[in-house]
Amino acid sequence: MGLIGQTISKLRELLVGKKVSAREILDAHITHIEKLESNICAFNTLTVDLASKQAQAIDNLIANKASLPPLAGIPIAIKDNICLPGYPTTCSSKILSNFFAPYAATVTTRLFEAGALCLGKTNMDEFAMGASTENSAFKLTRNPWDLSKVPGGSSGGSAAAVASGDVVAALGSDTGGSIRQPASFCGVVGMKPTYGLVSRFGLVAFASSLDQLGPIGRSVEDVACMLEVIAGHDAKDSTSLNEPLPQFTRELSGVIKGLRIGVIQELMGQGIDADVSTCVRTASEVFRELGANVAEVSMPYSKHALPVYYIIATAEASANLARYDGVKYGYRSVNCEDVLSLYYTTRKEGFGPEVKRRIMLGTYALSSGYYDAYYRKAQQVRRLVKEDFDRAFQAFDVLICPTSPSVAFEFGAKTAEPLQMYLSDIATVPANLAGIPGISIVCGFDSCGLPIGLQLLAPALQDLLLLKAAYAFEQATEFHKQKPPITAAIECPS
């Protein structure tokens, strides 16, 4: 049996049964990365030395007949805006190209304590600002389903690494859809948990009231297993929730009879590709066949979510990114004569065009005379978006809609028109504004064979319910079992 493309539970079964060692699992994935990385370009930094030490620790546990932690021997990757001591944390930006974090993010500590093998840090849109990973200062990550297409963003590297089989699971961050949208484009599962369920300590901030860390995997069960490890209260994060956690993996089942599912009307019409809309409506019929009660629901304020998001997110980014000035850490320009020119030239040379655009938008929205007209008003409409969800969840347990209005697009197709790129987030940003959990699963393929994502949303702290609904759909369909052509070609060479 090949070790590439296996689930967490299957690899664990092989380890516990001593049919394979952690070293063998690691070596298989390293070899796979060596074959694919020149085409996919998913990683900014490989951490093979770290993974080797971790694999040896797991094999020592097996040799000593000790019990194995839940992610023992599982190859993973983490997005390059998550702190990992000893390795660069660049956010795919020139301004942090030489930055080594002095401390570990809580999520990485929890993953390593659970036995995971960290193979690398993945490419992303600079400072998580983008929907295609084209804004990276270092490289273009390609979609494993079609190398001429983008992998989505901003967690494009993590999604591509999972889809291609480089790793079993990965971490991403989601400020307005940056886990779910690339999961949709790359045909994998990506989840944004309830805001505060997973600690943000050690995540480089983009927009602090919206940012959330979450898992990407090839199955709902794998995502549930990852979430079970990384979720939980953290005293180092003031926004961390201190709530009891369910055992996500043990409570998964394919039974959803009587579940009330609402199809969001406003996200099924104009602007949504025909193939995407058709697949989502077909998915709603699958839920109906599983015994769920499915009906349409109107969320009138959802049409305002995108402009609200791009005011609030850019305003918070303007404040958060003020710390990168060339003084204490990161890139420092040599073309300066005094402190003011140091600030100016460092930021001019260190930030890419999209980051500069968002800083300027956010600074303008917060400036004197415009704060009330833009930022305060956006926060008021944000409340209306949340109230939309509150009303919808009185009648429905779970809401569904497309994850993205389109499938993966070609490189350069939207870079010249930022607004068109921003519209890629139209279905995902409402969940971040409301702080509720969302998940993207594969619900079909378009006429060119590119994956289409179905987004499921649930009330805050109903992450288990969300996983149950996604798991039921996954068990009733075969979409998640299909592999990208480039991976299939390697596994079954002609």
- Residues marked active site are found at 79, 154, 178
How far is residue 61 CA from its own chain's centroid?
A: 31
Return the HEC string of the chain: CCCCCCCHHHHHHHHHCCCCCHHHHHHHHHHHHHHHHHHHCCEEEECHHHHHHHHHHHHHHHHCCCCCCCCCCCEEEEECCECCCCCECCCCCHHHCCCECCCCCHHHHHHHHCCCEEEEEECCCHHHCCCCCCCCCCCCCCECCECCECCCCCCHHHHHHHHCCCCCEEEEECCCCCCHHHHHHHCCEEEECCCCCECCCCECCCCCCCCCEEEEECCHHHHHHHHHHHECCCCCCCCCCCCCCCCCCCCCCCCCCCCEEEEEHHHCCCCCCHHHHHHHHHHHHHHHHCCCEEEEECCHHHHHHHHHHHHHHHHHHHHHHHHCCCCCCCCCCCCCCCHHHHHHHHHHHHCCHHHHHHHHHHHHHHCCCCCHHHHHHHHHHHHHHHHHHHHHHHHCCEEEEECCCCCCCECCCCCCCHHHHHHHHCCCHHHHHHCCCEEEEEEEECCCCCEEEEEEECCCCCHHHHHHHHHHHHHHCCHHHCCCHHHHHHHCCC
* Separation CA 340–CA 304 (nearest Å): 38
Which residues on adjacent β-strands are paired with residue 170? Answer: 77, 216
Angle, nearest 10°, between helix axes 463-476 and 220-230? Answer: 160
Phi, psi of 249 (to 5 degrees): -70, -40
Contact present, 153 and 132 (Cβ < 8 Å): yes
Residues in the chain: 494
* Separation CA 287–CA 261 (nearest Å): 8
Sign of CA dihedral 479, 122, 321, 337: negative
Residue 26 burial by CB count (10 A; 0-12/13-18/19+): exposed, middle or buried? buried
* Separation CA 140–CA 151 (nearest Å): 9
